[in-house]
Amino acid sequence: MIIEQLDEKFTLHRLWEQSDPEAYLDAIAPRIRGLANGGHHVINAALLDRLPALEIISCFGVGYDHVDAAYAGEKGVIVTNTPDVLTDEVADAAVGLLIATLRQFPQADRFVREGKWRQGAFPLTASLRERTIGMVGLGRIGLAIAHRLEAFGVRVIYHSRTPKHGVGYTHYPSLIDMASDADVLIVTTPGGAGTQHLIDAQVLEALGPQGVLINIARGSVVDEPALIDALQNRTILTAGLDVFEDEPNVPQALTDMDHAVLLPHVGSGSVHTRNAMGQLVIDNLTSWFSNKGPLTPVVETPYPSKND
């Protein structure tokens, strides 16, 4: 659907189909005014400097840490993403992953399929009951998760750089302090240099032996070797992960662990939501080239710009 609409509305250059993408890019670079980016390719300063006519980068996804948005802003290039349209889907996935991780539903499924039920009952599991949920970040997705968790009767607290106005959850300026008071950490904060390995060995130790880590944000936010060590040594109870540091390459140490739940980055992975995300990519480009401005510019490239 996305490719067809791009073909219909614009002159589409399929860089991914070229046998020599670099040579092809050199040939078309002076004419490129817009980029539709699926999130799999890094758009850094070097690439931006090769595209002198570039006006807009329309990103597929709410995260855009693969784009040097600050440098794009310096060059007058608008960057857009796809917020809101995936919020509910990712929030649903996060709650589902939390329950599946605590109650070991994937393990129970394997237990039945492997015929082990005939030999005895599946072991009792941990529970969501009486847990305190610590949200690492309370943006659109974090708030949607927190609102869903209220229905389960659990306490929700959160850590962010500044308190969120208009919410009743307790704010923790210190992540370590929140981890000490929480039984579950759900990571929803953006990726990038500012949150690189935010969840480290010290945070995991503070979370404690009954603690659960859920990450549906970016793999870079979690120190993966420290997490592996914490899981192996039972520093924390378990983890549910939808994202990893080097996707799709998941460490063997994680895949060998039966008490962790691992998903292949499917938080927004429904037909409905991916179509909505793709449509917003197209709508941003269409609006821009119709001289109506971008629909969802990121904070680094506001529209109109401060200089306008």
Q: What would the DSSP string read from start to end of 45-101?
A: HHHHHT-TT--EEEESSS--TTB-HHHHHHTT-EEE---STTHHHHHHHHHHHHHHH
Least Cα distance to 57 among 71, 46, 43 occurs for 43
List the one residue out of 195, 217, 197, 64 whose CA is nearest residue 139.
217
If we measure between CA atoms, which residue out of 303, 300, 267 comes closest to residue 284? 303
CB 152 within 8 Å of CB 128: yes
Cα 299 to Cα 36, 59, 252: the distances in Å are: 18, 14, 37
> Pseudo-torsion of CA 154, 160, 163, 168, nearest 10°?
-10
The Cα 45–Cα 150 span in angstroms is: 43
Is there a contact between 226 and 203 (Cβ–Cβ < 8 Å)?
no
Exposure of 264 by Cβ count < 10 A (0-12 exposed, 13-18 middle, 19+ buried)? Answer: exposed
- Alpha-carbon distance of 217 to 3, in angstroms, equals 27
Query: Which residues are tagged catalytic?
Result: 218, 247, 265
Cα–Cα dist 146/168, whole Å: 11
Cα(175)–Cα(136) distance, integer angstroms: 8
